[in-house]
């Protein structure tokens, strides 16, 4: 049913002509860093979800707090944590509300964590910069992510459009690289 839901959301998105935000349980992990479990299986539907998000020019709203928003509440090796609850906004939303963010709270009562949308969330500026390894720029799958990200339509001055497209591209490439690193885990040193 995921594809049907995404198609229905796409129809709604196409009918809007003003900034919007979509918030909720998408029941889909987009990148491996958004899942923690003993399983090493590929995340089904992740690539298609990324392409759908990029095609519809949706920006993943940044968050503060715990990474995971859902737990299956099983014990031991069967426990799974995922970030499936998220907020995504139209490309012009962040130009109007540049400090928009989500506050994640711990999972306590339900299997889902509560979270709060804040249009004026201050971001932590003490984060270390993330350096992308050279091999990333040579990978064809990554180049597809870069091309699709750069084709995102952004409204504003030329300088703002370049800065916003750069930020979107950087965010998508970082997620992709971290996802690969997590999936390859112990093989990483051999690959490197």
Contact criterion met (CB below 8 Å) for 147 and 165: no
Query: If you average pLDDT over residues 57-70, what whole number do you get?
Result: 91
Query: If you average pLDDT over residues 49-64, what whole number do you get?
Result: 90
pTM confidence score: 0.62
Query: If you average pLDDT over residues 104-127, what whole number do you get?
Result: 82
Contact criterion met (CB below 8 Å) for 34 and 46: no
For 93: left if phi > 0, alpha if psi spans -120 to 50, otherwise beta; the answer is alpha
Dump pLDDT digits (tens) for 153-172.
888 788 888 888 888 888 88
Q: CA-CA distance, 153 to 148, in Å (whole number)?
A: 10
Q: CA-CA distance, 114 to 108, in Å (whole number)?
A: 9
Q: Which residue has the tokens 């994640």?
A: 104
* Percent of residues, the chain, with pLDDT higher than 70: 90
5, pLDDT greater than 70: yes
Mean pLDDT, the chain, integer: 84
Task: Walk me through the domains of the chain, giving residue ranges and CATH numbers.
Answer: 2-191 (3.60.10)
């Amino acid at each position: 049913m995921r594809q049907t839901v995404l198609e229905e959301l796409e129809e709604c998105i196409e009918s809007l002509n003003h900034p919007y935000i979509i918030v909720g349980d998408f029941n889909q992990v987009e990148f491996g860093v958004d899942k923690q479990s003993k399983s090493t299986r590929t995340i089904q539907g992740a690539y298609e979800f990324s392409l759908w998000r990029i095609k519809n020019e949706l920006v993943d709203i940044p968050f503060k707090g715990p990474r995971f928003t859902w737990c299956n509440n099983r014990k031991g090796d069967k426990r799974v944590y995922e970030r499936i609850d998220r907020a995504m906004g139209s490309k012009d939303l962040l130009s109007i509300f540049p400090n928009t963010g989500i506050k994640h709270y711990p999972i306590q009562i339900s299997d889902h964590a509560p979270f709060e949308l804040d249009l004026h969330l201050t971001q932590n500026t003490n984060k270390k910069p993330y350096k992308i390894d050279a091999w990333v720029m040579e990978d064809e799958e990554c180049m597809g992510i870069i091309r699709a990200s750069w084709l995102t339509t952004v409204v504003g001055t030329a300088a703002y459009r370049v800065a916003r497209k750069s930020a979107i591209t950087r965010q998508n490439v970082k997620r992709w690289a971290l996802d690969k690193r997590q999936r390859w885990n112990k093989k990483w040193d051999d690959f490197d």
